[in-house]
């Protein structure tokens, strides 16, 4: 097994059961998992959880993050609001691998209403096993993203 990681995980009420299954699998593999909720099926504001997970990664409290909701879309949007974070939606192992290898993603998002738990486990394992290595194709793109993000932050707007 690869070296255990610190993983932040979070979900909304639509994905609580999937989160609990993934968390148990990760703990069984020796990973340290910080669970940002939710812990039941009561409605929550998914942006609050997505932002909390992304901030934990931005602060260095976790190496990777997993965010789950009905589709994975809302959590990706929320996490990507945190400066410096790259979150990618993944509903297959190829996109999970590319998220890490080509885009140096910190977080993947998964839709619990889109895929089943066994595929979700495979996606998570693929994502955690893939490691970004700076190269001539991907690094200029990531540098451009960082430069745009910095410019937009300094401008104080989205223009």
Does residue 21 have an active-site annotation?
no
Cα–Cα–Cα angle for 90, 120, 80, nearest 5°? 35
Q: Which candidate in 69, 87, 105, 110 is catalytic?
A: 69
C-alpha span between 153 and 144 (Å, rounded): 14
C-alpha span between 51 and 15 (Å, rounded): 17
26 burial via Cβ count (<10 Å: 0-12, 13-18, 19+): buried
Catalytic residues: 69
């Amino acid at each position: 097994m690869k070296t255990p990681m610190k993983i932040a995980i979070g979900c909304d009420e639509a994905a609580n059961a999937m989160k609990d299954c993934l968390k148990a699998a990760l703990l069984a593999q020796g990973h340290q998992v910080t669970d940002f909720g939710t812990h039941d099926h009561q409605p929550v504001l998914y942006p609050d959880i997505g932002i909390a997970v992304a901030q934990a990664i931005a602060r260095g409290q976790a190496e990777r993050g997993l965010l789950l909701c009905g589709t994975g879309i809302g959590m990706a949007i929320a996490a990507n609001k945190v400066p410096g974070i790259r979150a990618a939606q993944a509903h297959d192992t190829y996109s999970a691998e590319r998220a890490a290898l080509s885009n140096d993603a910190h977080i993947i998002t998964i839709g619990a209403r889109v895929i089943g738990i066994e595929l979700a486990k495979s996606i998570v394992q693929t994502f955690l096993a893939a490691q970004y290595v700076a190269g001539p194709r991907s690094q200029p793109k990531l540098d451009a993203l960082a430069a745009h993000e910095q410019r937009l932050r300094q401008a104080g707007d989205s223009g």
